[in-house]
Amino acid sequence: MGTGRGDQSQTMRSGARAFSRALAALALAALAAHAQAIELKIASIAPDGSGWVREMRAGAEEISARTDGRVVIKFYPGGVMGNDGQVLRKVRVGQLQGGAFTSGGLAERYAALNLYSIPLLFRSLDEVDYVRERMDPRLKAGLEEAGFTTFGFVEGGFARMMANEPIRGIEDMRRRKVWVPDGDQVNFMAMEALGLSPVPLPATDVLTGLQTGLLDVVAASPVVALVLQWHTKVRYVTDLPVAYSMGVFALDARAFSRLSDEDQEIVDTVMGEALQRLDDQARADNARAREVMEEIGLQFVEVNGSDVASWRDTITSVYPRLRARDDIDAEFFDELLETLREYRSSPAATASR
C-alpha cells in the first residue's frame, strides 16, 4: 500500500512539473509572438474622432485580428506629430512609418502628386473621374518608386476660397494675404501669375494664421474647412471650384517590407477597402458639409464667368514654366493635359455641357 501511494505521489508531482513546463512554454510562445509583432506608427492632421481616423482605426483592428496580433497599427491624429514635412522627416529616421498626407505634402518625394491641384485645371467632377480612373495607377506606381507603399487615394473635393470679405473677382483679392500650402510651388506660381500675394504655410498653421491676421484668404473643401475649424474664422465662401484636393495614406516601403507576404496582403486588402469607402463617401460628405456651412450662416457668393475664363487663361500661360521645373514630372503633366483634352472632345463631355 505504501509503495502504491509513493508511486502515485511521484506521478502527481511529475504531472504537475510537466503541466508547469507546458504553461511556461505557452507563456514564452506568447511573449515571443508579442515581441515579433510589427508596430506601424501613422500620423495625420485629421482630428481624433473624424471619419478618416475612425475608418482607419477600424481597419487597424481588423488587421490586428486577421494577423493574430503580428501587425499593430497605431495612429497619431490631430497634427500631434507636426505638418506633412515634419511627418516625412520622422518617417525618414524611423520615428514614424507613414502618414495620411495631402497630395502636395508628398510632392517632395514624388512631384506628380500635386498636379491634380493646379488651380482651375478641372472644370467638373466628371473630368476628375475620367482622369483619376486612368492616372491614379500611375501615381501609385510613382509613389512606390519613390519609396512609399499606398493603398489608394481619397478625394478631398474641390477647394473654394473663403474670407471675411466677399471674393467675387481678382480685384477683391488684391493686397490680401492668400494662403498656399507650404512647399506647393504649383499654386504659388499660379497665385503670382494672377498678381496676388501668396503666403506659404503648412495646413497645421492656417487656423492660427486666420486668427492673427497673417492670412486673409484660404481655399479648402467644405469638409476640410469644417474638420479643421477654419470655417469659424471666415464669413464668405466663393462658389467656384478652384482646385481639386486629394489625400494619400502612405507607408514607408521599408517598413511595409518587414511584414510577411501574407500580412502584406492582409494590410493591402483591408486598408485598400477602407480607403475606397472613404473615397466613395467623400462627395456626400462635402455636400453635407456645405449644407452645414450655409446653416450656420456662411454666405456663398458667385463670381463673374468671364473673370473665371480670364483667370484660367492666365494660369494656363504658366504651364510651360511649370513644366520646365526640375521638381515637376513633365511626362505625367503632359499625359494629364492630354487625358483632359481627350475627355473634353468626347461625346460624354459634349452631352454634359
- Per-residue pLDDT of 206-227, as tens digits, reads 999 999 999 999 999 999 999 9
Number of H helices, E strands in the chain: 13, 10
pLDDT more than 90, % of the chain: 70
pLDDT of residue 25: 47
Interval 109-122 mean pLDDT: 91
Q: Is the model's pLDDT at 1 over the cut of 50? A: no
Distance between CA 197 and CA 141 in Å, rounded? 35
Q: Give the residue from 141, 205, 149 showing the smallest Cα distance to 177.
A: 205
Q: Quick: pLDDT tens for 59-99.
A: 999 999 999 999 999 999 999 999 999 999 999 999 999 99
pLDDT of residue 119: 93
Interval 120-145 mean pLDDT: 95
pLDDT of residue 29: 44
The most confident of the ranges 27-31, 159-163, 301-305 is: 159-163
Question: What residues contact residue 109 under an 8 Å CB cut-off, 6+ apart?
Answer: 88, 143, 146, 147, 148
Residue identified by cell 499593430 is 72
Residue-wise burial string across 163-198, b where 16 or more C-beta atoms lie within 10 A, e elsewhere? beebbbbbebbeebbbbbbbbbbbbbbbbebbebeb
Q: Which CATH fold topology does 10-343 show?
A: D-Maltodextrin-Binding Protein; domain 2 (3.40.190)
Interval 18-38 mean pLDDT: 54
Q: Is the model's pLDDT at 178 over the cut of 50? A: yes
Interval 332-336 mean pLDDT: 95
Q: Is the model's pLDDT at 270 over the cut of 80? A: yes
pLDDT of residue 98: 96
Enter the C-alpha cell of residue 340: 483632359
Question: What residues contact residue 205 under an 8 Å CB cut-off, 6+ apart?
Answer: 83
Enter the C-alpha cell of residue 228: 479643421
Q: Quick: pLDDT tens for 294-330.
A: 999 999 999 988 889 899 999 999 999 999 988 788 9
pLDDT more than 70, % of the chain: 89
pLDDT of residue 35: 46
